[in-house]
Amino acid sequence: MISQIYFPSISTLAIGNPKHPSRYAIPVLRCFLSSFSNISPLHPRSLRSSSSGPMSFERIKVTNPIVEMDGDEMARVIWKSIKDKLVLPFLDLDIKYFDLGILNRDATNDQVTVESAEATLKYNVAIKCATITPDEGRVKEFNLKSMWRSPNGTIRNILNGTVFREPILITNIPRLVPGWAKPICIGRHAFGDQYRATDIVIKGPGKLKLIFEGKEEEVELEVFNFSAPGGVALSMYNTDESILAFAEASMNVAYLKKWPLYLSTKNTILKKYDGRFKDIFQELYEAKWKAKFESLGIWYEHRLIDDMVAYALKSDGGYVWACKNYDGDVLSDLLAQGFGSLGLMTSVLVCPDGRTIEAEAAHGTVTRHFRVHQKGGETSTNSIASIFAWTRGLAHRAKLDDNVRLLDFTEKLEAGCIRTVESGKMTKDLALILYGPNVTRDHYLNTVEFIDAVAAELRARLLANQSCEITL
């Protein structure tokens, strides 16, 4: 089971939204400070001078390691800035570092990707930067030995997990689908199907067959009889074990969130392939989850993918949507844009054991901004999804280790990030959503300025917390 625990800070009072206490929390004890003029507002053991700023904090000890997977291009640039300004100054953290930049993957024949996934299974928590998946152009650009597979695909196949993506809601960022008042958590089955398929270009007439050679049976099916000039063909698969893990993770997340769960397939066309997904989900639900769901007033339901898409657009949100691999790949981006921006989306791969996760940014490497950065130009790159990759990974580490201070830190960082945007400090992509063609340079911060603004908001929240502890 995936643990989901909230440890309330002694310095805050939840108001407005009980599901997100830290976001709507306010300091409640600072008002007492003026009554104690003989007490320093700064805790001598928790604060000390630093060359990076007027005050730094006693770093929070993180007992167990996390795996860091570095990435490429502009994503790598902001990743380092986040780590240097929002993580390392506050956490005493053992990081198992793997460089998944395209050049190092090429130098190691992609073995570094496999090793990073194996380390994730060992340490239970990985935090991943966006990476390049090479195409023909990238192979030529970097003079690669091979057109290496998607590192995300390699990692997901080793971890055999489900990717859950959920929007980061910010009050002043309008939604393209205004009816989505509540989040929609989309679960993508991150194994098999098109992503581990074998495809072929057929250049002439001939007969295509599907053959299975089993220990107890052999099956041979004629698929199609090609005439000139040929065509294309594809063979893909999935396993009962992986589908069951997908179903287990989806129902677990829905139960913890107390939201309904929907599975979408096209079982009317793929009667056996998609029908297997439908049957395994239903069997697991009846055997293990139905009573638990009903006790919370929630439910599980299978829907055809076309019907589910229509329902999603007219719904107000507030549910978990389990999708097959390709459907989840496409629809998670649709949901992200519908909620405001692909840069405002969390992405967490949850393994079947419920203990192992990989948190990542849902966007790409932001190549266009990187080209400007390489020339010394100013960029305004949205780092929110990358910040939340760090917070979601560290929050899971905190829950596994029962680390109250670490969990409180991650909540303050997320709340500080959201508050920074709500106060009007944002990157250009978000300013464009707000102001459209009327956007000016005064409406947004550059890449560095935004991360610095989040760091200032984080420090203010941590200082407020420590001031209240002194008063107590």
> Is residue 381 annotated as involved in ligand binding?
no
pLDDT for position 153: 86
Please give the full DSSP string across 116-159, using - where no structure is assigned: HHHHHHHHSEEEE-------HHHHHHHT-SS-PPPHHHHHHHHH
pLDDT for position 151: 95
pLDDT band (50, 70, 90) for residue 472: very low
Q: Are 431 and 318 in the same domain?
A: no
Q: Are 214 and 262 in the same domain?
A: no
> Is residue 470 annotated as involved in ligand binding?
no
pLDDT for position 464: 85
Residue that terminates a domain, selected from 296, 322, 339 = 339
In a domain, 378, yes or no: yes
In a domain, 390, yes or no: yes
* Tokens coding 455: 């760091």
> Is residue 163 annotated as involved in ligand binding?
no
pLDDT for position 352: 80
> Is residue 447 annotated as involved in ligand binding?
no
Cα 156–345–416 angle (5° rounding)? 125
Residue that terminates a domain, selected from 290, 318, 339 = 339
> Is residue 132 annotated as involved in ligand binding?
yes
pLDDT for position 3: 42
pLDDT band (50, 70, 90) for residue 74: very high
Please state the rounded mean pLDDT for residues 281-306: 98
**Residue 47: pLDDT over 60:** no
> Is residue 268 annotated as involved in ligand binding?
no
Tens digit of pLDDT for each residue in 378-398? 999 999 999 999 999 999 999
DSSP three-state, residue 390: helix
pTM over 0.85: no
Q: Are 92 and 151 in the same domain?
A: yes
Q: Are 161 and 181 in the same domain?
A: no
> Is residue 368 annotated as involved in ligand binding?
yes
Q: Are 155 and 204 in the same domain?
A: no
> Is residue 156 annotated as involved in ligand binding?
yes
* Tokens coding 382: 């949205």
> Is residue 459 annotated as involved in ligand binding?
no
Residue that terminates a domain, selected from 285, 313, 339 = 339
**Residue 303: pLDDT over 50:** yes
Tally the domains of the chain.
Answer: 3
> Is residue 276 annotated as involved in ligand binding?
no
> Which residues constitute the domain of residue 187?
177-192+237-339
Q: Are 291 and 188 in the same domain?
A: yes
> Is residue 397 annotated as involved in ligand binding?
no
> Is residue 225 annotated as involved in ligand binding?
no
> Is residue 437 annotated as involved in ligand binding?
no
**Residue 50: pLDDT over 70:** no
In a domain, 442, yes or no: yes
> Is residue 196 annotated as involved in ligand binding?
no
> Is residue 343 annotated as involved in ligand binding?
no
Q: Are 225 and 315 in the same domain?
A: no
> Is residue 369 annotated as involved in ligand binding?
yes
DSSP three-state, residue 78: helix
In a domain, 49, yes or no: no
**Residue 7: pLDDT over 60:** no
pLDDT for position 342: 83
Tell me 193's DSSP state: G
Q: Are 131 and 263 in the same domain?
A: no
> Is residue 402 annotated as involved in ligand binding?
no
pLDDT band (50, 70, 90) for residue 195: confident
Please state the rounded mean pLDDT for residues 388-411: 97
Please give the full DSSP string across 405-467, using - where no structure is assigned: HHHHHHHHHHHHHHHHHHTT---HHHHHHHHGGG--GGG---HHHHHHHHHHHHHHHHHHHHH
Q: Are 184 and 313 in the same domain?
A: yes
Q: Are 361 and 435 in the same domain?
A: yes
Q: What is the mean pLDDT of the chain?
A: 87
Please state the rounded mean pLDDT for residues 174-194: 92
**Residue 461: pLDDT over 80:** yes
> Is residue 306 annotated as involved in ligand binding?
yes
In a domain, 53, yes or no: no
> Is residue 154 annotated as involved in ligand binding?
yes
In a domain, 84, yes or no: yes
Instruction: Find the CATH number of the domain harbouring 162.
Output: 3.40.718.10
Please state the rounded mean pLDDT for residues 436-444: 95
pLDDT for position 56: 55
**Residue 285: pLDDT over 50:** yes
In a domain, 363, yes or no: yes
Is 100 in contact with 129 (CB distance < 8 Å)? yes
> Is residue 295 annotated as involved in ligand binding?
no
Q: Calculate what percentage of the chain has a pLDDT beyond 70.
A: 87
Q: Which of 384, 308, 399, 410 is nearest to 350 (CA)?
A: 399
> Is residue 133 annotated as involved in ligand binding?
yes
Q: Are 225 and 285 in the same domain?
A: no
Q: Are 258 and 145 in the same domain?
A: no
